[in-house]
Structure 1
Amino acid sequence: MKAEPAATGAGVAESPDPRVEARADTHLMRSLLVGIFIFMTVYALYFGRAFFMPVILAFLLALTLTPIVRLLRKRGIPEVVSATLLVLLSICVLAIAGYLLSGPVIDLLNNTSSIGQQLTERLAQLRRPLEKIMQVSHQVEQMTETSQEPGVQKVAVAQSGILSSAASNILSAGTSLTIIFVLSLFLLASGTMFYEKIIQSFASLSEKKRALRVVYDVEREISHYLLTVTIINAGLGTVIGLGLWALGMPNPLVWGVAAALFNFLPYVGALLTIVLVAVMALISFDTISYALLAPAFVLLCDVVEGQFVTPMVVGRRLEINAVAIFIAIAFWSWLWGFVGALMAVPLLVVIKVFCDHFEGLGHVGNFLAAQQTAVVEDEPVDDNGKAAA
């Protein structure tokens, strides 16, 4: 007789709480909405790359030049004047670099077959153990070709004209460059307009101050990082170009510019530069021992820049862990090709700085940070276990 109330109480205790179920359903719905939003964003970035790529590049260029505009504004030069001069200077630098690099790059592209043949001849002694394997694969290929039925014909798909494809690419590149420079000019010349719009979006004075402080800190850190890294990469390219010129390497200007551009890709860019310089050095110099000096010099410059110069100038706080870097490079190269790969790390730094300034996204910024920035240093303590002053 006394067991029935206990059983009834146990049954009531085991009944699900409607508030818990509601919170679980809300969390599940929120996760689904976030997943759908991310999927649709990637979809839009992939199929709308003709629009989003120049727009994002314009914002990155504007952020890179913002410290210079701010410095000139303190000297009494208006934003419109300094922004116009900087954008025109960027266009001139790009035009001069394109003119100087067009000839050597076209020659390299036209001589790719002869470069491969010369490299094969220089490395002939390394191919001897593989000759038997190559002969077997060649015999298998011949057997495959002879085993085809007599009535079967090979179908060749005619490709579109080279001239029309080149004209389309040039027109697309010209349109993208126009969008980049015009939009970056408007962004730089706008001055404090965005800060005023942010202030007007909040009601209370405390919210206005907090929003303005966060946005200003984010803009200052990102612009300082982008400008500093751009200057470091330009210096690295200059040093590598001059060093290769002193070693007698052909087209040192091409390899200096390539080293500066590829250095926006940590790890991958340096390795790619070393490999390309090593290939050209092997076919350009008489002895292999002297040819190895060129990639060794590039390796030395990359080590000095990556281990000493950049950490000392930029600081450790904005360093990104290697896993996040490789994932970002793979994602953006799949999304937007080589240009996307160059933008991967700057965009990753932008995301990290934003996450560090918002409490709800702190775990994302912690994941993107390098290991040494995520570890809290132990404070010195006294005999009583309290932190020392």
Structure 2
Amino acid sequence: MKTPTQVKGQEKPQSPVRKQAMTFAAQELRLISALVLLLAVGLFLALPFVLSIGAIVFLPLVTAIILTILLSPLADRLASWGVPNFIASLMALLLFLAIVSLALTVVLRPAVTLFDEVPAMIARIGEHFSHLKGSMQWIVRLNEQVAGIVGAESGQQVVLAGPSMLEQLAFATPTVVLEILLTIMLAFFMIEARVRLRRRLLLQRQQVDSSLKAARVMREVQDRVAAYILTVGLINLGVGVIVALGAWALGMDAPVMWGGLAALLNFLPYIGPMIMIALLTLFGLGTADVPLIGLIPAAAYLGLHTVEANVITPSVLGARFTMNPVLILLALSYFSWIWGVTGALLSVPILLTLTALVDHLGKPNLIGFLFGEPLFATNILELADED
């Protein structure tokens, strides 16, 4: 008579000792996963304070890493044409700096002139609202009644004089210049050392599988971030051209500035278009004689942004670059809290880099882990049970 282990296709029964060992290993693995998850949450909460305090060191480093990922394909292309690595790295970085300088010049030079007209625009907006004040007298009377009930005190207020804008710029300029210089130098040396870094990652591994995995991770991170920024940059350039043509057609001052400003602000998801709408509303109401006519530029840009964000960008980028809007907003607020405007600009590239790394290293199953499932999709206990 055949035993259960001799029957073909029948699984070998596990002994009680093995079942007990597997149960203990599962509990130990879940405990270790819980500790790792708690450490990750603690690091996520403590990291902003460390990065903000050491911003003069960490901000140039992170910016240089993103620039290296972005400019390495261009340097590789120049090197494939026979240009020496040193010259290719320098040319890629100088080309990027030239594009950024040109964009800022196109935007900032006319903006300085328009900045002097802001008080007049605000006064014009006040005149528009003063015409509506007669029909809104009930709100004024309601405000006076609420103030009388609350009993607002009318007394002298002591206002502490703070540093002026020029003083703030004088204190901030040396730090900004130092961070820019550190970023440029770090980016150049990282781009120049990319070939040696790849060789170390590929050749100095003890196993072939780890070398191939490191190569795939590097290629995926570089391709995803560089392709995303290049594609979004071309889309934003198209948006800037359309806005510039629309501003010229509407007779607005400095149409090239409005186009460049729309292109630059469009790199900030959600927040940038809102700022652009607010600026167009301010300029339209501050220069038009009729409020409804003054709202035409903002309404036209809102329609353009709606088409671009919901039709053009998703169809061009595709599913590969589609990210959860909640993650984008969290990354935007997280890095804006740490590094301000620069952190907001770096938030999406950093999120893309982390997403590419997580896709290769393993995406944690956070929701399932709360209900008793493994933290990662690949359960090492099941692999050990198959041996």
Per the shorter chain, which TM-score range? 0.7 to 0.9
Note the C-alpha offset of 1:88.
Answer: 2.1
- 2:191 aligns with 188
Counterpart-to-counterpart distance in 2, 1:27 and 1:304: 44
TM-score by length of 1: 0.77
Counterpart-to-counterpart distance in 2, 1:304 and 1:24: 47
Alpha-carbon contact 1:241-1:253 (below 8 Å) kept = yes
Q: Which residues in structure 2 correspond to 1:1-389 (within 5 Å)? A: 25-137=31-143, 140=147, 144-146=152-154, 148=155, 154-359=157-362, 361=363, 363=365
Cα distance, 1:156–1:319 mapped onto 2, change above 3 Å: same
Cα distance, 1:20–1:55 mapped onto 2, change above 3 Å: closer
Among all aligned residue pairs of Structure 1 and Structure 2, give the percentage whose two residues are the same amino acid.
Answer: 27
- 1:375 aligns with none
Alpha-carbon contact 2:90-2:188 (below 8 Å) kept = yes
Alpha-carbon contact 1:65-1:227 (below 8 Å) kept = no
Moved more, 295-304 or 258-267: 295-304
> Structure 1, residues 139-162: CA drift from partner, whole Å, max 9, x if none?
73896343x4xxxx6433232354
Number of residues of Structure 1 aligned to a counterpart in Structure 2: 343
Cα distance, 1:98–1:18 mapped onto 2, change above 3 Å: closer
Alpha-carbon contact 1:249-1:284 (below 8 Å) kept = no
- 2:382 aligns with none
Alpha-carbon contact 2:123-2:286 (below 8 Å) kept = no
> What stretches of structure 1 of length at least 5 have no aligned partner?
1-16, 365-389
Alpha-carbon contact 1:250-1:284 (below 8 Å) kept = no
RMSD across aligned positions (CA): 3.0
Cα distance, 1:57–1:126 mapped onto 2, change above 3 Å: farther
- 2:12 aligns with none
Cα distance, 1:331–1:240 mapped onto 2, change above 3 Å: same
Alpha-carbon contact 1:105-1:254 (below 8 Å) kept = yes
TM-score by length of 2: 0.77
> What stretches of structure 2 of length at least 5 have no aligned partner?
1-22, 367-387
- Structure with the greater relative contact order (CA < 8 A, sep ≥ 6): 1 or 2? 2
Counterpart-to-counterpart distance in 2, 1:284 and 1:176: 39
Counterpart-to-counterpart distance in 2, 1:97 and 1:318: 25
Alpha-carbon contact 1:281-1:291 (below 8 Å) kept = yes
Note the C-alpha offset of 1:251.
Answer: 2.8
Letter of the aligned partner of 2:176 in structure 1?
A: A
Structure 2 counterpart SS, 1:144: coil
Alpha-carbon contact 2:107-2:261 (below 8 Å) kept = no
Structure 2 counterpart SS, 1:341: helix
Cα distance, 1:214–1:90 mapped onto 2, change above 3 Å: closer
